[in-house]
Chains A and B, each alone.
Chain A
Amino acid sequence: MNPHPSMFVLCCRKILMVFAFYIAGAVAVISTLLMLTRLNVVHALLYLIVSLLGVAVVFYTLGAAFVAALEVIIYAGAIMVLFVFVVMMLNLGAHAVEMEREWLTPGIWAGPVILASILIIEIVYLVHGASGGLNSGAVPPKQVGIALFGPYLIGVELASLLLLAGLVGAYHLGYRQVEKREILHDSDTHERRAVAGGDLVLAGADKPARTP
C-alpha cells in the first residue's frame, strides 16, 4: 500500500528475521544433539536431515537463498540418499521386518516431525512476508556466480577434479571382487611356487627344460 515502507515496518521485519534466525539455529542445534544421542542409525539420519534443513533456513534468513536451496538439494537430498542406501545395504539381517515394524511406531518419528514442522511454519511465514532476508548482508546469487567464475575459476576446476576422483574412487571401492578369484593364475599357486623354489615364478618353470 505504501510505496515507501516506514521505518517502523522495516525495523519490525528485521527483528522478525533475527527471531527466525535464532529459532532455526536452535532447531539445528537441538536436532544435532538428538542425532548424536540416538542409538539407531536411521533415527540419527532423520535428525541429521532436520539439522541440515535448520541450517538451510539459517542461510535463508542470512539472505543467502541460493546457498539455502543448494544445501537442501545436495546435503539433505543427495548425501542423505547415499547414507540411506548404505544403511539399507548393511542392514540385511533376518530380523529386518520386525525391526521395521518397531521403527514405524509414532514415538520414533514424532521428534523429527515436530522440529521439521517448526521449520516449515517458519519458512512459510518468511516467504509469505516476502522480505528478502536480512537486507543488511544479502549477497545476490549473480554476484556469487561472477565471483565463482572470475577469480575462483581454478577452484571450480579443482572441485570438478575432486568430484571426478571421488566418483572413480567410490566406483573402484564399491566394485565387487568376484572376478578376483578367476584372475588368480595357476602360476601364482603354492605348488608352482614350491616347484620353482622361490617367490618368483617364471612361466613354465615346472615343465622340463626343452631339449632340442
Chain B
Amino acid sequence: MLAGILFSLGLTSLLVRRNLIFVLMSLEVMLNAAGLAFVVAGARWHQADGQVMFLFILATAAAEVSVGLALVLEIYHRVKSLDVDGLSMMRG
C-alpha cells in the first residue's frame, strides 16, 4: 500500500516535472518504492529473497544515477538548459 502510494507519486512527478534533475529524483523514488515492496513481501513470507532483491535494486539505482547524472552534465553543457523539451531537437 505504502509502496504503491510512493510509486504513484514518483510516476506523477516523472510525468509532470520538466526538469531533468527532478526526473532523476522521481526515478529514485520509484525504485525505492519497488524495493520497499520487495522488503515488505520478504518480511511477510519470512524469506530472505526480498532483501536480496532490495540489494540488487540498490546497485541498479546507484549505477543508473551515476550514468544519468553524467548525462545531465553533458546535456547541460550542450543545450544550456535542463528542460526536457529542449531535447526534442535531438534527432539522428
| Residues of A near any B CB (own CB < 8 A) | 25, 28-29, 32-33, 35-36, 41, 44-45, 48, 51-52, 55, 58-59, 62-64, 66-67, 70-71, 74-75, 78-79, 82-83, 85-87, 89-90, 134, 137-139, 143-144, 146-148, 152, 155, 159-160, 162-163, 165-167, 169-174
| Residues of B near any A CB (own CB < 8 A) | 2, 5-6, 9-10, 12-13, 16-17, 19, 21-22, 24-26, 28-29, 32, 36, 39-40, 42-44, 46-52, 54-56, 58-67, 69-74, 76, 82
Instruction: Choose among B2, B25, B62 the residue that contacts A74 (Cβ–Cβ < 8 A).
Output: B62
Of all chain A residues, the one with the shortest Cβ separation from B51 is: A144
Shortest distance from the beta carbon of B49 to any chain A beta carbon, whole Å? 6
Instruction: Report whether B46 and A139 are in contact in the complex, using a CB–CB cutoff of 8 Å.
Output: yes
Bound: A146/B48 CA distance, A: 9
Shortest distance from the beta carbon of B31 to any chain A beta carbon, whole Å? 9
Instruction: Report whether A36 and B13 are in contact in the complex, using a CB–CB cutoff of 8 Å.
Output: yes
Given the complex, which residues of B lie within 8 Å of A64, measured CB to CB?
Answer: 39, 42-43, 51
Of all chain A residues, the one with the shortest Cβ separation from B13 is: A36
Instruction: Report whether A173 and B74 are in contact in the complex, using a CB–CB cutoff of 8 Å.
Output: yes
Instruction: Report whether A90 and B32 are in contact in the complex, using a CB–CB cutoff of 8 Å.
Output: no
Instruction: Report whether A48 and B39 are in contact in the complex, using a CB–CB cutoff of 8 Å.
Output: no
Instruction: Report whether B28 and A79 are in contact in the complex, using a CB–CB cutoff of 8 Å.
Output: yes
Instruction: Report whether B2 and A28 are in contact in the complex, using a CB–CB cutoff of 8 Å.
Output: yes
Interface pairs (16), CB distance under 8 Å: A25-B2, A32-B9, A35-B29, A63-B43, A67-B39, A67-B55, A79-B28, A82-B66, A86-B69, A90-B82, A137-B44, A148-B55, A159-B60, A166-B64, A169-B66, A173-B74
